A and B are shown apart, each in its own frame.
Chain A
Amino acid sequence: MSPLDLLVAAPLAFMIAALLSGPWGRWWLLAAIPVMAGLTVWLLLLPEGSGHVVGGWTLPLGVQLRADGVAQLMVAATAVCAAIVGLYALHEFAPGADRSETAHGFAFWPLFYLLWGGANAGFLTTDLFNLYIALEMVSLAAVAMAAMGSLRAALRYFVIALVGSLAYLLGVALLFSNYATVDLTLLAEMARPDLATKTALAVMTAGLLIKAAVFPLHGWLPPAHAAAPAPASALLSAIVVKVGFVILLRLWFEAFPAIIAPAGLELLGWLGALAVLYGSVQAIRQDTLKALVAYSTVAQIGYLLLAFPLVATAAGTGGAWAGMTIHATAHMLAKAAMFLAAGLMLKAVNGHHLKDLHGLARAMPLTVAAFGLAAVSLMGLPPSAGFLAKFLLLEAAVEQGAVFAAAVLLVGGLLAAVYLFKPLAWAFAGSDTPVVVAKAPLRTAAPLALALLAVSLGFAGQAMVDITAGSPWAGPPATEAEDVQ
């Protein structure tokens, strides 16, 4: 047995268990957390890059699961996020007098485990077709969770996500016709820069950009993420978009680094820059809290794309690579914290607008503190993990003379400060708001724990850099290209 299989199988088992046990399904979480925590620790202890082919088939046929640096980091961050969001959801979806809430509560748990299992599969697999399955598992769970908030937004999300999946699948079919394999590691060895491969890469990338909500294909994200219940929004923004991103990484930097034209990387970089600027400006213009946080996700995803050209030309340092993956991790934790905190604040004031937050810093200091700490990481201010990521990326950009990317990094941080301090300013306004005693301490603790983690991970910088360095393509792909030829 290997933790690699179990990390995918265990959530699915919990999904079935949760489905079967009806109203008691939510209590499976208490079993799932220690099990998944144990498996994650096991995964982190595996030697980096150790792979495992499921079911004993040999490679072209079998499906390989592999623990490289990025997978280890993302699976671990997902486990932390999912566990804490799950604990929050235990309260959020506790059965009450309101029937609709219990219906949500019943539907949430199977979807929660489906998403968890799908995300783990997406991070661990090197098989492109299996990645398609993982993508669909995650999308299905995500759409259903979005439907808990707004059916119309969910439907829009569903239709667009379907197109993304099919574009990806089309690419898989083209690659298979060309190489007779869909395993990334094998493809990397025999990649040829022919038209079919390039077409495949292009359509797959387009599909994944939809899934990762990269500008200008982000349109589905803000309504879907803003309308969903807080724990669902947290999972959607934290985990779901990262699955598309990680698959994109595997395609561009593991399977086909040798055939990628610099122009393609530049294009992705530009898209990222536009996403940062557009998402931030939109976030500034929002007057409802959750829409603001959702647009912030669009902006933050932009940094990941912005890093693509930096990673590809990193002069042997791998700093850009580490910066990008740490950014993904930091965003995961901070955004989950922020959505949970936003959910608590909005529920307390029974409103949706920024001005409804008036005086909340006194009424619920811990929740506002969680929001503030998450904001520190998203703005990329020290000592948070978000700062570390931005610093590494900035350093890489400056070393490579990528002035524009450096400017976007700095300006993006400033814009983030503008939109994130807006809700905080409302929370700090006034001085006569009465103190509200938290009814569920666990629910208050959840966003705070995530936010503190996002901030304090900045102190574990070198450890994270070391983990991310354990990816087979963490170095500059220039050397990889030489290997191929």
Chain B
Amino acid sequence: MNEFLPLLLVFLPFVPALISFALPERMAVWRDVINISFALAKLALVGFLLLSVEDGVTTEWRYEFLQGHDFILRTDAFALLFITLSAFLWLIATVYAIAYFGRGPHLARFFGFFNLCVLAATGVAMSGTTITFFLFYELLTLATWPLVVHKGDEKSLRAGRIYLIYTLAGSAAFLAGIVWLKSLVGTIEFTAPPDLSGIPRLELTLIFILCIGGLGVKAALIPFHGWLPEAMAAPAPVSALLHAVAVVKAGAFGIVRMIYDVYGIDTVSELGLGTPLAVLAGATILYGSFRAVMQTDIKKRLAYSTVSQVSYIILGASLIGPFAIIGALVHLVHQGIMKITLFMCAGALDNRMGIKSVADLDGAGRAMPVTMAAFSIGALGMIGVPPTAGFISKWHLGLGGLQSDAPWVIAVLAGSSLLNALYFLPLLYRAWLLPPSAKLASVRELDGAWNRMLILPAAITALATLAAGAFATFPFSPLSWAKLIAESGYLK
């Protein structure tokens, strides 16, 4: 039974995907019920696995799909970190999406592909070999495209085109890298990093560049970040779950896997590849923040903020040190919770009051206090104000920088936090302290079940942002889990 558990966990969303595609629009209520119940079921399954992995029991499922090529799904601690995040946020985003769309057009298609995306993200997390990882990574690209073009207008089609060109080109580079590496050392299992001694340094470096470049596209590392702001043409639930969490995290997750489970930190530091990557990540952090300051569209501003924030993970992973990796792992979760809060609030503001640009925010805090409160918590988290989750991440990353003899990291973190404050605080100022326009004053935030359902998910994740920071030392908190992963093999 246990060996099928990973398979079940990955392919569970396939059922609601098929049902969503097949159900006619008049049975939309059933579609909602099924989607939510499967999200709950998955969360329960993940909870069960969390307990067993904490006891040190990992389960795996393998299938030799080609001679010499294993398809492996494994529940190790690192995989579960990402899965727990995606399972929790899937439930949140499903509820949010149902409330956001109400009864709009092509929702069957939307929920179908939405589920396929979650399937792919879970598969990415649980992949046990590079080729398995690639299969799900590519599936994620394919399943996201229909969601990006969901609105079907000129802007989303353009976004879809740009998204595909970037991500497919990235996947091609990644595929070239892993096939090349495999031709040198055979099948690469993440639990048993290959022996890379004896391979020319130049080849190893080139493969590393191909792989990181390919993964960096999804992780929106500069100069491959161009698709992410464009993809904001998608509806808010897509931006919230996929662009803030699933897609960019799949890239960042893959980079951590490459550094720690394929090359191994010893090889990476011996080849001298960590520092250039860390510098690139640092540049992305500053560049993303800088661009975010200049955006007037709220979603665009959040998108550039994502570009910046995801690179914290890469920065932490490439610094190579106990505190840095803990910071990276914990930020993988924290950034997801905080960013989804912000996107869901931005979507709610747009949905209820038509607020799209920063200038429209005046007085929004009085019209929609719960939404803006959640937004504020997310924004403060991004800036890194204690006791939010963002503070924990930045604290560990900063210590990691000092520990790895890279004091410039502190400067990057400080500069980025300053820029974060610069682009988030004016929003909070406008929303809370400026007088609302007449139009906004007439909105009643919590009237009606649909509207409450729209606000509730953001409120929950905002509370989670606070809790992850305030209760960081409790067992099963993201920080404790990141420490567990680091102790179980990433510290060496």
Contact = CB atoms under 8 A, between A and B. Distances in A.
Complex A–B touching at CB under 8 A: yes
Interface of A: 359, 361-362, 365, 376, 381-383, 388, 391-392, 394-395, 398-399, 406, 410-411, 413-414, 417-418, 421, 425, 428-432, 459, 461-462, 465
A417 B164 CA distance: 8
Nearest to A469: B67
B356 interface: no
A462 B67 contact: yes
Given A395-B182, A431-B152, 18 more contacts: A361-B109, A365-B21, A381-B142, A383-B139, A388-B66, A391-B131, A398-B176, A398-B179, A417-B164, A417-B168, A421-B161, A425-B160, A428-B146, A428-B152, A428-B160, A431-B105, A461-B65, A462-B64
A431 B135 contact: no
Interface string B268-308: 00000000000000000000000000000000000000000
Nearest to A399: B183
A113 to B, nearest CB: 36
B65 A459 contact: yes
Contact of B65 (A359, A411, A417, A462): A462
B64 A410 contact: no
Nearest to B64: A462
Contacts of A462: 64-67
Interface in B128-178: 131, 134-135, 138-139, 142, 145-146, 149, 151-153, 157, 160-161, 164-165, 168-169, 172-173, 175-176
A362 B182 CA distance: 42
Contacts of B151: 431
Contact of B138 (A382, A414, A418): A382
B134 A382 contact: yes
Given A382-B135, A428-B146, A414 B105 contact: no
A395 B67 CA distance: 13
The 4 closest A-B pairs by CB, nearest first: A410-B172, A382-B135, A399-B183, A431-B152
B160 A394 contact: no
A36 B64 CA distance: 32
Given A362-B106, A388-B66, A428 B149 contact: yes
B490 interface: no
Contact of A410 (B160, B165, B175, B182): B175
Nearest to A401: B183
A143 to B, nearest CB: 38
A413 B146 CA distance: 19
Nearest to B66: A461
B180 interface: yes
A310 to B, nearest CB: 13
Contact of B152 (A381, A391, A430, A459): A430
B interface residue count range (under 10 / 10 to 19 / 20 to 34 / 35 or more): 35 or more
- Judged by DSSP, the binding face of B is helix
A346 B136 CA distance: 33
B66 A465 contact: yes
A411 B169 CA distance: 8
Contacts of B65: 459, 461-462
A291 B220 CA distance: 36
B67 A465 contact: yes
Contact of B169 (A361, A376, A395, A414): A414
A421 B164 contact: yes
Nearest to A412: B172
A80 B217 CA distance: 39
A458 B180 CA distance: 22
Contacts of B169: 414
24 contacts: A361-B106, A362-B109, A365-B109, A381-B138, A381-B142, A383-B139, A391-B175, A392-B66, A398-B176, A398-B179, A406-B179, A410-B175, A414-B165, A417-B165, A425-B157, A428-B152, A429-B152, A429-B157, A431-B105, A431-B151, A431-B152, A459-B65, A462-B66, A465-B67
Given A417-B168, A431-B106, A406 B176 contact: yes
Contact of A394 (B21, B105, B175): B175
Contacts of A381: 138, 142
A381 B172 CA distance: 10
A413 B169 CA distance: 9
A421 to B, nearest CB: 6
B141 to A, nearest CB: 8
Nearest to B171: A381
Contacts of A465: 66-67
Contacts of B106: 361-362, 431
A461 B131 CA distance: 14
Which residue, of B105, B153, B179, B180, has the highest number of chain A Cβ atoms within 10 A? Answer: B179
Contacts of A406: 176, 179
Contacts of B142: 376, 381
Contacts of B145: 421
Nearest to A421: B164
Interface string B353-392: 0000000000000000000000000000000000000000
Contacts of A430: 152
Contacts of B161: 421, 425
Contacts of A391: 131, 175, 179
Nearest to A388: B66
B150 to A, nearest CB: 8
Interface string B59-76: 000001111000000000
Nearest to A407: B176
Contacts of B105: 362, 431-432
A176 B183 CA distance: 44
B67 A398 contact: no
A288 B179 CA distance: 36
B160 A414 contact: no
Interface in B88-135: 105-106, 109, 131, 134-135
B449 to A, nearest CB: 25
Contacts of A382: 134-135, 138-139
B180 A398 contact: yes
B149 A418 contact: no
Given A361-B109, A382-B134, A398-B180, A428 B67 contact: no
A170 to B, nearest CB: 42
Contacts of B153: 429
A300 B66 CA distance: 23
Contacts of A429: 149, 152-153, 157
A414 B172 contact: yes
Which residue, of A359, A381, A411, has the highest number of chain B Cβ atoms within 10 A? Answer: A381
Given A398-B179, A429-B157, A465-B66, A413 B172 contact: yes
Contacts of B131: 391
Contact of A383 (B135, B152, B176, B180): B135
A418 B160 CA distance: 11
Contacts of A421: 145, 160-161, 164
A409 to B, nearest CB: 9
A431 B101 CA distance: 14
